[in-house]
């Protein structure tokens, strides 16, 4: 027999190779299925503008630390968030378009809507300001001027809360934006960041929430041209997805999140969040929220949490209620609250 290097016989070598390859393959696949989180979690459908502002990164860890419940935020457009919640893919809905939210509850998809906080929209535009609206405190008048000047305007056009708010201002200004579509009015059909990118690139006007604007880094030649109008206040509501519609909804944990958000800790967390040195979100839980006809109002302890300076500020009471009328409700609500607690503690 001719001398050959001592090697294991052919068949064994082939088998070893095959085993190694199968092991590598199995390892790859197993690695690809990470163990499901052992801890509890809820899914909250919210919006990209809220997510991008950084609020969730600030307040959610506090909630998790207190309760041990992880909060997974799926941040999409308002329309998509509501659709997600309707289909039962989320436990809690946390968006900012009151009319849509009330419809959501009315159609039976949600248990009850509660006010949480508000933030503001601002109108941004090129420093050159061709439509001469800079410094105005009247959004409707400014929008009329924009339409008259046919100044380029970048709209989100994606059925989001921001988009719907923008359309409401156009309607109030008596402008039919469909006529401008494709010329001065550009609907990008995308999120806030993408729309601002487009506006910066086109030197166009746009409506943005202050949080997204502060966090936005690609400003180009844009600056804030209109702010401070009451119409530009953007209210957030939080709703538990109806467990009667979707049995798997984590009602207890979702309610715990809602309770915390509307409670002293949550409201303080919201108020303490600052971006660029400015407070973005103003907590308003317990004032002037809508309700489904059958459910009584709830959650009153938050009234005390509005900072003393803000209490006298008419902006903190969008529905025109005075602190006194609100404060007269406590006792009835306490009983209601514990009754509601009992309902979900099963």
The residue ranges that bind other proteins (CB under 8 A) are: 1-2, 4, 7, 9-11, 14, 17, 25, 28-29, 31-34, 36-37, 43, 48, 52, 57, 72-76, 86-89, 190-194, 196-197, 200, 212, 215-219, 246, 248
Tokens of 251: 């009602």
Place of tokens 């949490």: 305
Q: Which is nearer to other proteins, 17 or 274 (CB)?
A: 17
Instruction: Name beta bridge partners: 76.
Output: 47
Backbone torsions φ then ψ of 127, nearest 5 degrees: -60, -30
Q: Which is nearer to other proteins, 108 or 135 (CB)?
A: 108
In angstroms, the CA 294 to CA 112 distance is: 10
In angstroms, the CA 207 to CA 215 distance is: 15
User: Residue 116 Cβ, how far from other proteins at the closest point, in Å?
Assistant: 20
User: Residue 175 Cβ, how far from other proteins at the closest point, in Å?
Assistant: 27
Q: Which is nearer to other proteins, 9 or 182 (CB)?
A: 9
Tokens of 142: 């400014």
Tell me if residue 145 falls in helix, strand or coil: helix
Backbone torsions φ then ψ of 187, nearest 5 degrees: -95, 115
Q: Which is nearer to other proteins, 147 or 275 (CB)?
A: 275
User: Residue 1 Cβ, how far from other proteins at the closest point, in Å?
Assistant: 7
Q: Which of 170, 162, 167 is nearest to 140 (CA)?
A: 170
User: Residue 66 Cβ, how far from other proteins at the closest point, in Å?
Assistant: 18
Q: Which is nearer to other proteins, 130 or 193 (CB)?
A: 193
User: Residue 38 Cβ, how far from other proteins at the closest point, in Å?
Assistant: 13
Place of tokens 């919210």: 46
User: Residue 31 Cβ, how far from other proteins at the closest point, in Å?
Assistant: 6
Query: Residue 212 in contact with residue 50, Cβ under 8 Å?
Result: no
User: Residue 6 Cβ, how far from other proteins at the closest point, in Å?
Assistant: 12
Q: Which is nearer to other proteins, 124 or 131 (CB)?
A: 124
Q: Which is nearer to other proteins, 9 or 308 (CB)?
A: 9
Place of tokens 């006007």: 205
Place of tokens 């467990």: 243
Q: Which of 98, 44, 85 is nearest to 260 (CA)?
A: 44
């Amino acid at each position: 027999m001719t001398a050959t290097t001592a090697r294991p016989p052919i068949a064994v070598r082939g088998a070893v190779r095959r085993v190694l390859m199968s092991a590598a393959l199995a390892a790859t696949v197993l690695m690809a299925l990470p163990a499901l989180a052992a801890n509890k979690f809820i899914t909250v459908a919210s919006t990209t503008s809220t997510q991008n502002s950084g609020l969730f990164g600030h307040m959610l860890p506090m909630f998790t630390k207190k309760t041990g419940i992880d909060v997974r935020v799926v941040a999409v457009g308002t329309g998509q968030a509501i659709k997600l919640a309707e289909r039962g893919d989320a436990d809690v809905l946390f968006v900012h378009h009151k009319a849509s939210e009330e419809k959501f509850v009315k159609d039976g998809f949600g248990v009850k809507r509660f006010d949480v906080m508000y933030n503001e929209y601002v109108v941004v535009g090129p420093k050159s300001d061709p439509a001469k609206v800079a410094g105005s405190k009247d959004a409707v008048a400014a929008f009329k001027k924009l339409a008259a000047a046919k100044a380029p305007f970048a709209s989100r056009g994606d059925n989001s809360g921001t988009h719907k708010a923008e359309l409401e201002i156009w309607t109030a200004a008596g402008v039919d934006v469909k006529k401008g579509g494709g010329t001065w009015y550009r609907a990008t059909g995308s999120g806030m960041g993408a729309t601002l990118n487009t506006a910066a690139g086109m030197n166009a006007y746009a409506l943005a929430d202050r949080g997204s604007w502060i966090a936005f880094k690609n400003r180009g030649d844009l600056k804030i041209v209109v702010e401070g109008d009451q119409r530009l206040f953007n209210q957030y509501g939080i709703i538990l997805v109806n467990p009667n519609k979707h049995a798997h909804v984590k009602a207890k944990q979702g309610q715990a999140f809602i309770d915390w958000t509307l409670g002293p800790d949550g409201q303080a967390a919201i108020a303490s969040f600052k971006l660029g040195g400015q407070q973005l979100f103003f907590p308003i839980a317990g004032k002037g929220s809508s309700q489904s006809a059958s459910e009584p109002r709830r959650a009153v302890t938050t009234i005390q949490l509005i900072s003393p300076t803000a209490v006298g500020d008419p902006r903190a009471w969008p529905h025109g209620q005075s602190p006194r009328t609100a404060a007269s409700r406590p006792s009835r609500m306490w009983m209601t609250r514990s009754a509601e607690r009992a309902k979900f503690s099963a």
